[in-house]
Chains A and B, each alone.
Chain A
Amino acid sequence: ETGVTQTPRHLVMGMTNKKSLKCEQHLGHNAMYWYKQSAKKPLELMFVYSLEERVENNSVPSRFSPECPNSSHLFLHLHTLQPEDSALYLCASSHRTGSSYEQYFGPGTRLTVT
């Protein structure tokens, strides 16, 4: 059982649908992250939450809306997505302070937008 879980593992949605991705960490960390991994591109940071406060938003379109209700849970709400949003969405967590703390990743949600 990994310390970071993500649901669902696979998601197919139409462009007019609304769905949410869920991430949960059981590691006692206080920073959580959403990354997007598209084919043949480096991982792209989308959002960072530190102590439940959003501290980074990398020019992500408003059709992606994150939510961090507590330090253990992170959501990514999706609406009116485009086919180019199809990708692997990875959640990660870490301790907040110090560059030495590695990030632990979940298994990802494979999203396909039709």
Chain B
Amino acid sequence: AQKITQTQPGMFVQEKEAVTLDCTYDTSDPSYGLFWYKQPSSGEMIFLIYQGSYDQQNATEGRYSLNFQKARKSANLVISASQLGDSAMYFCAMRPSNSNSGYALNFGKGTSLLVTP
């Protein structure tokens, strides 16, 4: 069984500062994918960034980067230069590679991020 843990229910950050959202996971699968999604108050889940378990480098997408530490089983999201529009719920998710199904995602409980002026 897989488990995703996000220990920060809520986070505050000042505009233009960087913030790290924590995510740890537990899996026995040797190959898996890790994802971060953003959910604004409107409800839509927006894909942010992906990290494969065998990727040698940490993933980056614009202001988003993933601090992947495989031995510690952590995949923290770093948002640089925070903007007011970054205020939202952030979900960490994982999916194994060996599933014969549609590769459903397993989500954490989420972290609520509030960016203040």
Stretch at the interface among B15-23, B63-71, B101-109: B101-109
Within 8 A of B (CB), among A20-74: 31-33, 40-43, 45, 48-50, 55-56
Q: Is B43 interfacial (CB-CB < 8 Å)? A: yes
Q: Is the CB of B91 within 8 A of A43?
A: yes
> Per-residue CB proximity of B17-43 to A under 8 Å, as 1/0?
000000000000001110101000011
Q: Is the CB of B101 within 8 A of A55?
A: yes
Closest residue on chain B to residue A93 by CB atoms: B102
Residues on the B chain within 8 Å of A33, using CB: 102, 104
A88 to chain B, nearest CB (A): 6
Within 8 A of A (CB), among B35-81: 35, 37, 42-47, 50, 52
Q: Is the CB of B100 within 8 A of A55?
A: yes
Q: Is the CB of B47 within 8 A of A103?
A: yes
Residues on the A chain within 8 Å of B44, using CB: 2, 105-108
Q: A33, A40, A99 — which one has the most chain B CB atoms within 10 A of its CB?
A: A99
What's the interface size class on A, roughly? 20 to 34
Q: A2, A43, A88 — which one has the most chain B CB atoms within 10 A of its CB?
A: A43
Q: Is the CB of B33 within 8 A of A55?
A: no
On A, residues with C-beta under 8 Å from B are 2, 31-33, 40-43, 45, 48-50, 55-56, 88, 90, 92, 94, 96-108, 110
On B, residues with C-beta under 8 Å from A are 4, 31-33, 35, 37, 42-47, 50, 52, 91, 95-97, 99-110
- Given contacts A99-B31, A99-B99, list 19 more A-B pairs with CB under 8 A: A31-B103, A40-B109, A42-B4, A42-B107, A43-B91, A43-B107, A49-B102, A50-B101, A50-B102, A56-B101, A56-B104, A96-B103, A99-B95, A99-B103, A100-B33, A105-B46, A105-B47, A106-B44, A107-B42
